[in-house]
Amino acid sequence: MKLNRIFAIALLLACMSRQGSASEMPWSQRTADAAILRWPDGRWVPAGQHWAWNYELGTLLEGMDAVWLNTADARYYNYIKASVDQFVEADGSIPTRKAEEYQLDNILLGRQLLLLYGVTQEKRYADAAQTLYEQLMHQPRNPAGGFWHKQRYPNQMWLDGLYMAEPFYAEYASRFNHPEGFKDITHQFALMDQHARDPKTGLLYHGWDESKRERWANKETGVSSQFWARAMGWYMMALVDTLPFYPEDDPGRKQLIAQLELAAAAVLRYQDTASGLWYQVIDQGRRKGNYLESSASCMFVYALAKGVRRGYLPH
């Protein structure tokens, strides 16, 4: 599976959902229709092959539901529902999800469970979402209280884990009245800002291992060695997708907006002026073998556009 293609399509759907002209179908719908044709019922494996609960589908459907919400075209809602229904049993169980792995990646698709529950009020969607919430309540944590990215990655926090978990966590806390969750969510972002942010560039390293034992971890700081553009994209998207669920008077809201402002300023400094895109290793555009990366560029555009539209970032 070509992840770049999945990410680019999903983010194009989300970014372009408000675009278009009277003379032609908007790009968001044209892209959504192409995705539906290419991947019927949200499957990109051949018929008969194993298909499991996964974050890549969650990414695609985030774009699809943006198109549905802005068009009210039932085809897009039906696609979301068919894509999720293949995994969720009548009792709310998700048989293909491996609970024992404690993967934050498995949380992302839960955002569609909350959408479907909001539309249908079917208990199975709420039960399945509660299962994911319970995973977060029992997720292994490092001594500082940060979620491990997975059970097999002890003490490691990754920027993409913030996107996988925190928007769902915030929406669930808002919908099902768990206001105490927002302090924990803020803490997850704060840990990565404190330990993974480079004071010189303002960029965040992809990973932080509090134990400093992982082979990629700096022996003094515990961070990974490079600034990966897509990791910064996950981070910024996590911020703009989590913030809408924060109570206006929650102190963590200002803290997350401040982190978004710092991240936006940092990535803008490294935008390629000729193409408007960003490089895979974001701060090393002249490095041999480095290249302009489409999915990360889409992530930045999405986060910047949503940040401006919702008033978190200045025009």
Q: Is 222 left (phi over 0), alpha (psi -120 to 50) or beta?
A: left
Radius of gyration of the chain (CA): 19
Q: Which residue type is seen at 139?
A: Q
| Set 105, 160, 209, 241: catalytic member | 160
Run of H or E including 157 = strand 156-158
Task: Give the separation between CA 2 and CA 77, rounded to whole angstroms.
Answer: 24
Longest C-alpha distance within the chain, in Å? 58
Helix (H, G, I), strand (E, B) or coil at 54: coil
Read off the DSSP letter of residue 209.
Answer: E
Task: Decide if 149 contacts 100 (C-beta within 8 A).
Answer: no
Cβ contacts of residue 47 below 8 Å, gap of 6+? none
In the residue annotation, 160 being an active-site residue is answered as yes
Task: Give the separation between CA 138 and CA 275, rounded to whole angstroms.
Answer: 45
Of 308, 283, 313, the C-alpha closest to 203 is: 283
Tokens 């710092």 locate to 262
Tokens 């990629």 locate to 216
Tokens 């997720």 locate to 139
Task: Decide if 232 contacts 301 (C-beta within 8 A).
Answer: no
Annotated catalytic residues are 160
